[in-house]
Chain A
């Protein structure tokens, strides 16, 4: 047998085809688009490409970033979580109300933070239970809990805002560590964690398998239901983390916090190349996705474009990125 020559040919072919498919990946295309956008925006305003401005943008994107990371898991399984913005609002209110020295609870701040994280996790767990055990589609479930959790937040807050937190609470949202905003470190840790989970663990592989072919995954012994509950629970936890950071950053608690956040997070994930139909996607893509969205928002604002205009541009970029991706997928599929 000519096994040896065979293998050499194979590996060469593999190398070149892998390099080619790497260059054609959505992440790489997106990175190129991002760099072009940065260059373009830098011309629009000389305040854009400064360290101060970029680090400050880092502060602003952390909440969306955290939620987008767990949203990546969900979308890869073919699901969606629309309730994250409402969970964020609910958790922020819980944090404020539990701590409020003039309120009914007046708990220590640490305890209030733990409760805030627990409530978010529970809210996500409830989503997961409804989706898996009752078989309600994720879109419907989280659309319902979007309203439900926001309603709870408003009911609990009674339109009052809580402010006047102690100084040390603001370290997370307004402080720095080694010259970089504190929350960016948190985001970085979660980026690494989720990237490793997704690419190198059984759980991560199972998530792809579920998105690819849920029934097939079940036939391969993957505990589909349990894993799905876990990712929705994780999504709730991440929304609570974002709530904590949000409150610390803006120094106050209001019940409308985080409304619309789910759309930015979903946009970042999809922009990052994760298929809305499930089965493919990556954390690195999502990271580039949420950075690009934030840079566009900021750069356009600095160039004097109004908020409305910015939204239009972001929407256009989103559609363009997906069209380019589809085009390339089809080309490489035929080739």
Chain B
């Protein structure tokens, strides 16, 4: 039953500054098939979707629709070709009713809305999908699942031929997932080509006809679902061996610094338990939505936990604000450098000293600028921050150098616990290696480090132990030695409980 492809991508490459997001990718979708896309975070799936829906343009390569080359320049344009996408969070207009949402993109209806006709057509579309929804009700009150149905109906109304579903099941209940899958099968039987992205392995085996694995911006392999095993898919996702690029001097650990017991936050994460020692790096691995960052935010007092215990050097602490965390010498380097980590239009100097201004006061309570500059100069040399001047606005530095400023800012607080959230995301390979070297040196100085990272080789190469989370739950703590990547990935995807070792 090999049909001709509806949509074909040929030799697509896409570069971002410092990152090769897609590297010579060829890929095609056939009518009436559900094609699953698998890959770790950063494997290139999102970039691929954005190219297919006209949000990004490829640097090299062609997109063919029914054998003819097309050039997409916006998502509205892609929709006119019948290529639509729905996402984890439905993008409906909450104040409009179901029918209005379905027909929102139709501008060729004349000046006056034919309400009766619109409601009738909306009902027709929904009934072909086997969905019962009141087309006159506001979308605001609908469940996430129902809102997704509305989005799918909207795509149908635009004569969709290729439907991209980016983690549509991530926020749905098991029953809702069933409903969604029933709908997906209806669409497939109508001859729509469906590209389905999910991190849940069992769903892929349930719904997909074909599966393609991406890794590091490349297409690794494709299989028909009935002729492949789960283990094979995981091997392909994980791929490469641990590179020698990770510098890590493993030493004996010092005293226990932090001890977290059954830490919970209602509806966010539950029962997180671990110990952390001087000079130790504890990796936090997991997929998107694993809630690792939320644990970091709780430890830093931004979003305090509401259950469980945090012991710092044996004493229970209730961290309620970042200022409090700073007093306790806990520092948190955020994953969102530009929004949360830096004041972009302030100078490197002012950014660096902000959490620790108290250190720079003279007897009158005034800031001694000379000392601030000296500190900034010291970190510029130590961490090799490349900036034309220390008075340069932080926002004008490259990603890697911005990250070094953020690291300097927190190192200057002299932390005993340092939480690093995706410290190398979005920075180029060279800067990445430098940041790894810095992290290694910090552990060498006895700082206890939590390394949250979606980059599996990074987290496995740098950590002493790895805590794996999935959807707010702790799946196990793995020792670095003797743990394979397959084990980590399996735990992160919820397929096997890891041996919980402390």
Contact = CB atoms under 8 A, between A and B. Distances in A.
Contacts of B382: none
Interface in B360-388: 361, 365-367, 388
Given A196-B366, A208-B346, A218-B302, A213 B322 contact: no
Interface stretch (B16-24, B197-205, B334-342): B334-342
Interface string A213-252: 1011111111100000000000000000000000000000
Contacts of B325: 221
Contacts of A206: 354, 357
Interface in A51-67: none
B448 to A, nearest CB: 19
Nearest to B362: A200
Contacts of A221: 321-323, 325-326, 355
Contacts of A10: 388-389
Interface in A1-53: 10, 13-14, 17-18
Contacts of A200: 366-367
B354 A220 contact: yes
A220 B367 contact: no
B361 A208 contact: no
A59 B332 CA distance: 51
Interface string B329-355: 000101000011111111000100111
Interface string B276-313: 00000000000000000000000010100000000000
Contacts of A196: 366
A279 interface: yes
B321 A223 contact: yes
Given A219-B322, A221-B355, A212 B346 contact: yes
Nearest to B297: A219
B364 to A, nearest CB: 9
A220 B412 CA distance: 12
Given A14-B391, A219-B340, A212 B345 contact: yes
Nearest to A275: B345
A163 interface: no
B367 A201 contact: yes
B302 to A, nearest CB: 7
A contact patch SS: helix
A119 to B, nearest CB: 29
A213 B354 CA distance: 12
A279 B345 contact: yes
B366 A13 contact: no
B311 to A, nearest CB: 22
B365 A201 contact: yes
B358 interface: yes
Contacts of A18: 391
A191 to B, nearest CB: 17
A205 B367 contact: yes
Contact of B342 (A205, A208, A216): A216
A294 interface: no
Interface string A183-210: 0000000000000100011100110110
Interface residues of A, number: 26
A83 to B, nearest CB: 28
A280 interface: yes
B367 A216 contact: no
A68 B409 CA distance: 34
B271 to A, nearest CB: 26
A17 B346 CA distance: 16
B367 to A, nearest CB: 5
Contact of A209 (B340, B341, B346, B389): B346
A280 B343 contact: no
A12 B39 CA distance: 50
Contacts of B409: 220
Interface string A167-197: 0000000000000000000000000000010
Contacts of B332: 219
A18 B373 CA distance: 15
Contact of B367 (A202, A217, A219, A280): A202
Interface in B385-425: 388-389, 391, 409
Contacts of A208: 343, 346, 350
Contacts of B355: 220-221
B298 to A, nearest CB: 14
Nearest to B346: A212
A334 to B, nearest CB: 12
A220 B353 CA distance: 10
A216 B343 contact: yes
Nearest to B301: A221
A215 B338 CA distance: 11
A213 B344 contact: yes
Contacts of B321: 221, 223
| Residue among A202, A208, A215, A217 with the highest chain B CB neighbour number at 10 A | A202
B343 A213 contact: yes
| Residue among B326, B353, B355, B409 with the highest chain A CB neighbour number at 10 A | B355
Nearest to A17: B389
Contact of A205 (B326, B344, B354, B389): B354
A201 B341 CA distance: 22
Contacts of B367: 200-202, 205
Contact of B350 (A201, A205, A218): A205
A10 B390 CA distance: 10
Contacts of A218: 302, 322
Interface string A84-127: 00000000000000000000000000000000000000000000
Contacts of A14: 389, 391
B334 A219 contact: yes
B322 A220 contact: yes
Nearest to A280: B345
A209 B354 contact: yes
A206 B343 CA distance: 11
Contacts of B350: 205, 208-209
Contacts of A280: 345
Contacts of B391: 14, 18
Contacts of B354: 205-206, 209, 217, 220, 222
A217 B341 CA distance: 9
14 contacts: A13-B388, A200-B367, A201-B365, A202-B357, A205-B350, A205-B367, A213-B342, A216-B343, A219-B300, A219-B332, A220-B322, A220-B355, A221-B355, A280-B345
Interface of B: 300, 302, 321-323, 325-326, 332, 334, 339-346, 350, 353-355, 357-358, 361, 365-367, 388-389, 391, 409
Interface of A: 10, 13-14, 17-18, 196, 200-202, 205-206, 208-209, 212-213, 215-223, 279-280
Nearest 6 CB-CB pairings of A with B: A212-B343, A200-B366, A221-B326, A202-B357, A221-B323, A221-B322
Given A208-B350, A212-B343, A221-B323, 19 more contacts: A14-B391, A202-B361, A202-B365, A202-B367, A205-B353, A205-B367, A209-B346, A209-B350, A209-B354, A212-B345, A213-B340, A216-B342, A217-B354, A219-B334, A220-B322, A221-B326, A222-B323, A222-B354, A223-B321
